[in-house]
Amino acid sequence: MVELAPSILSCDFSNLQGDLDQTKDTDLKMIHIDVMDGIFVPNISFGFKVISDIRGKNDYFFDTHAMIEEPIKYIEDFKKAGVDRLTVHYEACKNLDETIKAIKNAGMEVGLTFKPATDIDLITPYLDKIDLILVMSVEPGFGGQIFMEDSVEKIKFFRNYIDKNNLDVKLQVDGGIKTTNVDKVIDAGADIIVSGSDVFGKDIKNQIDKYYEIFKQKSL
Ligand code: DX5
Ligand code: ZN
């Protein structure tokens, strides 16, 4: 079944654990953690201490999206903070092969993503080296943006590529997804749906339940 990875970027940071407590008693298995450095993207979110503090209080799989230059410098910090999967940007890594290897050696799953303007032919050679491919359906940097419709074709492309080549790679989609448009993202072949502003800032438990209702319907 499809899984939800709600992005804590849209949480109320003055009450972060309070928001996370509202996700309990749902089907949720993971949370999406957006780390931004103000250089790779024009926004700064939060760092290792925040991740490590919530790690102590939440059993979820920590799905982390690093929007930072040269993430290879910080792999040990992510691991120590309690990250389970580290997704890096193609454009941010001088040596992507080394970065992928280092993430695996640190004992984390590795994800790869790319900005909307990046040619997907540059990405496919890495598909057999990673655990997850993330299609960005907005320009990385901010929550609450509008879903880019042309990402649907990219999702279909990667779904087809993964299945055709029998790869053990999860397909995640991130940006502008709501209960009202998640349908087409699932139909295009996504395995993991990231949603920030449509979960946090609303009735959190109710929104998560709504997503899982849709996922269940779709898997019938
Ligand atoms: C954007 C982040 C997303 C963002 C999603 O740079 O990677 O994870 O928080 O937020 P929404 O669902 O509001 O587009
Ligand atoms: Zn993200």
Say which of 19, 34, 63, 131 is annotated catalytic: 34
Pocket-testing residue among 89, 182, 197, ligand 1, by greatest number of atoms within 8 A of Cβ: 197
Give 192 Cα–ligand 1 centroid separation in angstroms.
13
- Measured between alpha carbons, how far is 71 from 39 in angstroms, rounded to an integer? 12
Average pLDDT over residues 196-202: 96
Known binding residues: 7, 32, 34, 65, 141-144, 174-176, 196-197
- Reported as a single tens digit per residue, the pLDDT across 170-182 is 999 999 999 999 9
CA distance 51 to 33: 8
What's the mean pLDDT when you consider all of the chain?
A: 98
What average pLDDT does the segment 186-197 reach? 98
Instruction: Give per-residue pLDDT as tens, 67-82.
Output: 999 999 999 999 999 9
What is the pLDDT, as a whole number, of residue 90?
99
27 alpha carbon – ligand 1 mean position (Å): 21
- Report how far apart, in Å, the C-alpha atoms of 190 and of each of 108, 132, 186 are: 22, 11, 5
Of the chain, the percentage scoring pLDDT greater than 90 comes to: 99
What burial letters (b/e) apply to 171-200, b meaning 16+ CB within 10 Å? bbbbbbbbeeebeebbebbbbbbbbbbbbb
Is residue 174 part of the annotated active site? The answer reads: yes
Q: Does residue 131 line the site of ligand 1, with CB under 6 A?
A: no
What pLDDT is attached to residue 149? 98
**What is the pTM for the complete model shown?**
0.98
